[in-house]
Homo-oligomer: A and B are copies of this chain.
Amino acid sequence: MNNRSAEDYLRVYSGLSHPIRLKIVGILWEGRRYVSELAKILEISRPLLYMHLKKLEDAEMVKSSYEISETGKSMKYYEVNDFIILITPPMIAEIAKTIPLPSEENSTDNSTDG
């Protein structure tokens, strides 16, 4: 968590802002699981689980890898990445400096239109 953009931080904070996702991290912390297995444990559908896993993966808090099982099936395993996140007001202040105000926003630059 260093040298990252405000968007990176927002992905991390958003990643942690849903109970199912905290639960996912908690379960994976005890050991890796493949997707269907994890869906059963959490008692949610796979599509929903994928959505949550994507957010955690985007935030780099979990990672996945494929593996062929003994019975020949392709399994997608997830595990937690190691991370330490420290948040203090001055750190947020630093990050916040890079976030533009509405008036500073110029997503499409047509200022020097000739």
Contact = CB atoms under 8 A, between A and B. Distances in A.
Contacts of A87: 16, 83-87
B86 A23 contact: no
A101 B42 contact: yes
**Size class of the A contact interface (CB-based, 8 Å):** 35 or more
A22 B43 contact: no
Interface stretch (A24-32, A63-71, A106-114): A24-32
Interface in A31-87: 41-44, 61, 80, 82-87
B101 A29 contact: no
A83 B89 contact: yes
Given A23-B99, A92-B22, A85 B83 contact: no
Interface of A: 6, 9-10, 13-14, 16-19, 22-23, 25-27, 29-30, 41-44, 61, 80, 82-90, 92-97, 99, 101-103
